[in-house]
């Protein structure tokens, strides 16, 4: 079998996340159907992660296998997929990789953005969380730096997941303010289910003055999800970048 990576982006508004679910439309299902139709064979793509309902991806990777007898023109496949897929899913690139390359397990780092708008804006309705209260961005950035002190982020993980460890290495965590927009950027080697939305929700508690820096540190130390803030809405979250080693490519 030959393996190919597809690099894509999608607006998650109309989908119940990436992963196939019964009785709900997902990005994986739509991409599978498009590939099956174009290649005239059964295709099951494997994604680099699982985005939740309403979450967007400006950079996402999926891989699929075809029989070694099949010859694919990668540029033509990308072109045909873009013609076939709905307007809220865009194929950026298709390329061959080594047979053992894996979009999820070979990722070295992932970067997410979370967007908040302080003013009512109809053009941000599906991409930003409208926050109705004042936030101390400086305090939120001070709290974000505390994340670098830890590796176990059980306090920000969805309960009863099937992962072997809740340890993650965070490389970047910061807020930037631009007019009435706030953007949180967080980069790590891996993320737990619901982790970014839980971190943002807890940092917002700091920004509102409902939690101080010491409280934030204690939340992480407690390894108890009930001590952290609420998960923020999914529609403000974007998977922004996935990094892979150059060695995965079939050069």
Our answer to whether residue 52 is catalytic in this structure is yes
Catalytic residue among 52, 59, 73, 106: 52
Three-state secondary structure string covering the chain: CEEEEEEEEECHHHCCCCCCECCECCHHHHHHHHHHHHHCCCCCCEECCCCCCCCEEEEEEEEEEECCCCCCCHHHHHHHHHHHCCCCEEEEEEEEECCCCCCCCCCCEEEEEEEEECCCCHHHCCCCEECCCCCCHHHHHHHHHHHHHCCECHHHCCCCCCCCCCECCEEEEEEEEECCEEEEEEEECCCCCCHHHHHHHHHHHHHCCCCCHHHHHHHHHHCCHHHCCCCCCHHHEEEEEEECCHHHECC
Residues with active-site annotation: 52
């Amino acid at each position: 079998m030959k393996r190919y990576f597809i690099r894509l982006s999608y607006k998650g508004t109309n989908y119940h996340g990436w992963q196939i679910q019964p009785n709900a439309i997902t990005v994986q299902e739509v991409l599978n159907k498009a590939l099956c139709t174009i290649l005239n064979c059964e295709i099951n793509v494997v994604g680099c992660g699982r985005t939740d309902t309403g979450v967007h991806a400006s950079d996402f990777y999926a891989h699929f296998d075809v029989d070694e007898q099949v010859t694919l023109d990668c540029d033509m496949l990308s072109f045909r997929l873009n013609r076939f897929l709905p307007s809220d899913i865009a194929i950026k690139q298709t390329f061959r990789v080594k047979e053992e390359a894996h979009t999820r397990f070979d990722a070295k780092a992932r970067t997410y953005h979370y967007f908040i708008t302080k003013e009512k804006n109809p053009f941000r309705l599906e991409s930003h969380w409208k926050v109705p209260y004042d936030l101390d961005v400086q305090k939120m950035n001070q709290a974000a730096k505390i994340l670098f002190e830890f590796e176990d982020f059980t306090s920000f993980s969805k309960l009863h997941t099937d992962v072997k460890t809740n340890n993650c290495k965070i490389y970047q965590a910061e807020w930037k303010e631009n007019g009435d927009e706030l953007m949180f950027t967080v980069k790590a080697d891996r993320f737990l289910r619901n982790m970014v939305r839980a971190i943002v929700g807890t940092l917002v508690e700091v920004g509102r003055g409902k939690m101080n820096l010491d409280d934030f540190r204690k939340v992480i130390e407690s390894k108890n999800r009930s001590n952290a803030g609420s998960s923020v809405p999914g529609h403000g979250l974007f998977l922004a970048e996935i990094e892979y080693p150059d060695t995965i490519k079939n050069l």
